[in-house]
Amino acid sequence: MDSPDFPSMPIDRRAWPAGGRLDYWSAPDGWPIRRYRLGSGARGRMLVLGGRGDMIEKYLEVIHHWASRGWAVTSFDWRGQGGSGRLTDDPMCGHIDDYAVWISDLRALAADWRAEGEGPLVMLGHSMGGHMLLRALAEGMMPPDAAVAVAPMLGVHSAPLPRWLAVAIAWAMVRLGFGERQAWTQKEGTDRLDRIRQRRLTHDPDRYADELWWRDHSRDIALGSPSWTWVLEALRSTRSLADGDAIARIATPLLILAAREDRLVSTPAIRRVVGRIASARLHVYGPEAAHEILRESDPVRLDALGRIDAFLDETAR
């Protein structure tokens, strides 16, 4: 087993690791959810929840890392993104009518995942996936032995707009019939726009380029901006979770990693929510980290993996 300082041998981030299984899991309503599994499970089992617009391919490096440490890792693409189809006629629009649909998918998938074997169970969610994980736990999903949320979407970074104005605009656009349309133009396509988007996500241009490579070589997994309905749901769901009583009842050992200068999710909101969860620990990175902490330059990425591994070694036995 590798040490936290040297988590695993480098892999080809533009290829599927040997020994994995890519298939489809059927949601209760029959919707096909693309799923990937890798690892023996000698250490236990891990469920990885990606963020908005993500696809499994973006996290093959960290999936391989945890598989190399003995975890049987399962990841999947949320309904409506990645390889799990689309919910509007625009294949580049990230849409959902109600976040409750994703919560239902997660609860059902997690129940099947839980029944697949024995050993410690852990869940890890990034960004929107972190929000879904915490919301599902707050709403009574059977908890794992430990959970990790990386840059969880507990508040939307709406600056320069104040939150109330962002809500008003999203509400108006949905009422005007634009709910299934992209809320903005994706900032990519030229070198300048790609650099702007990269800096919001990671300081590592090579890992950012990996995402673009996967999108270019498999256009059916590519996704653009969220819909106006997605935006409105994000603003509603984050406020409801952060302000509601249920979040304080989460008793699962919880590690949260955040970036002080995150420009996609609200780190002040993360701090406020963590203060309400007695079982939560928080580590906030400084200017060395952007939103995608697990896809950052190696000093940050390896530190994050080391913190996660140490936390799981302590709490998930």
pLDDT tens sequence across 14-49: 999 999 999 999 999 999 999 999 999 999 999 999
List C-alpha distances in Å: 102 to 2, 136, 150, 171, 188. 34, 10, 18, 21, 27
pLDDT at 274: 96
Mean pLDDT confidence for 299-309? 98
Q: Average pLDDT over the chain, rounded to whole?
A: 95
Query: What top-level class would CATH report for the domain 21-315?
Result: alpha beta
CB 208 within 8 A of CB 215: no
pLDDT at 6: 46
pLDDT at 9: 66
Q: How confident is the model at residue 3 (pLDDT cuts 50, 70, 90)?
A: very low
Q: Is the pLDDT score of 190 beyond 80?
A: no
Mean pLDDT confidence for 272-301? 98
| Tokens describing residue 259 | 């970036």
Rounded Cα–Cα distance for residues 56 and 68 (Å): 17
Rounded Cα–Cα distance for residues 305 and 7 (Å): 7
Query: Torsion over CA of 105, 173, 154 and 212, rounded to 10 degrees?
Result: 70
Q: What is the pLDDT of residues 165-179, one digit of tens each?
A: 999 999 999 999 999
Buried b (16+ CB within 10 A) or exposed e, 40-71: ebebbbbbbbbbbbbbbbbbbbbbbbbbbbeb
The conformation of residue 26, written as its DSSP 8-state character, comes to E
Q: Where are the domains of the chain?
A: 21-315
Q: Is the pLDDT score of 1 beyond 90?
A: no
